[in-house]
A and B are shown apart, each in its own frame.
Chain A
Amino acid sequence: MSEQTGTWWIWRVFWILLIVTAVEVILGIIKPALLIDNSFLGTTLLNLIFIVLTIIKAAYIVMEFMHLGHEVKGLKLSILLPAVVLIPYLVFILLTEGHYIFGTL
């Protein structure tokens, strides 16, 4: 729980968020054929890259800007566990089911 001093760490996170967003936008505009034509886990590599980059951004916002990374373990777990367990579960169920009923009903 070391207190961060100064404002340099804020700008470090800012640059990370900005660069990751810029990479997402550039990839979204040029759409490299290599990443679109190859699929993994039921979606294109490009979409997987977007999702991973999004989670990286979310982690920096929650851990640094919201300071959760510097709280005690009990608080960290009680905030993160419900989200990390329930949200992927819900997404998995709904996307599987959505794929299953594709073009029916």
Chain B
Amino acid sequence: MTDITKNEKEAWSGGEKPFVSSYGKLMMWFFLVSDALTFSGFLSAYGFMRFKYSHLWPVAEDVFTHFPFLKGDHPLLFVALMTFILIMSSVTMVLAVNAGNKNDKKGVTLWMLVTIIGGFAFLGSQAWEWGHFIHGDKGGIELPNHEIVHVVDEEEHFYSIYDLVGVDSYADDVNITIDDVKEALAQRPDLGIRLTDKSVVSDAAAQAYLNNAEVVLGANLIRNEYGHQLFANFFYFITGFHGFHVFSGVVILIVIFINVIKGTYERRGHYEMIEKVGLYWHFVDLVWVFVFTFFYLV
């Protein structure tokens, strides 16, 4: 037991690596700690505003409902696929690090390549997700007090405003006015307007709510058809910041991949660079685990 303290003292008196880790890896770790605190700042700010506006906050299942080539509503399915892609690319990254520890150039090349493809797959999925969020789904109505309400059917499921007025939502020049909605709604007594307190009004009461209201189609930094504006702003900011991390990660991976092929690390005698970029890549996965929970699940 006394030997351990003695060794620890010697380890810190210079000439040794007390953390048994290289300078580069340590600095990557400390960068990741600061980045983790940055992301936790963003996510707690999101939580703060969500708690403040909890009654106006959209429900994620009503927002992210699309899945490529499938019709209808499939909440959580696409984001589950994105999570799977990122976990999978994390696994191939570990396999690359593992091959690097054995100085196996072929293995590192293969697994780095697969990881880069996984990174691009994730970025593509995120672009798809953003595209659908920007375009919007079923449309919303903004009341004069800036609250967003939705048209619902008898089971209180959101009913598409596009279907209501009979317009193709992917047509080039979609322009739906509140008068179109009022007119169409008058013909459909089975539909109603769900207010922010979750109560549903129909017929004359619904028409009264629509006076001086506006139709909101899609979500951006100024308007958000799904609910409170800050939901869209935080979504773009946090998933955008994370996506930027993924993009940077892919660029760094490509640079290191080229070095692997050129034999830079083979000549250097070790593949520690793969470990460093691996730390960064796993961190990106780690952040997504939290974004997934707090944007899509909770």
Contacts and interface: CB of A to CB of B under 8 A. Distances in A.
Contacts of A78: 19
A98 B52 contact: yes
Interface string B38-56: 0011001101111110110
A98 B289 contact: no
Nearest to A68: B29
Contacts of B19: 71-72, 74-75, 78
A10 B40 contact: no
Given A29-B76, A74-B19, A87-B36, A54 B290 contact: yes
Contact of B54 (A14, A18, A102): A102
A29 B48 CA distance: 25
Contacts of A50: 293, 297-298
Interface in A48-100: 50-51, 54, 57-58, 61-62, 65-66, 71-72, 74-75, 78-79, 82-83, 86-87, 90-91, 94-95, 97-99
A21 B41 contact: no
A83 B51 contact: no
A1 interface: yes
Interface in B46-78: 47-52, 54-55, 61, 75-77
A39 interface: no
B84 A98 contact: no
A82 B91 CA distance: 27
Nearest to A71: B21
A91 B40 contact: yes
Contact of B48 (A66, A94, A103): A94
B282 A65 contact: yes
A98 B51 contact: yes
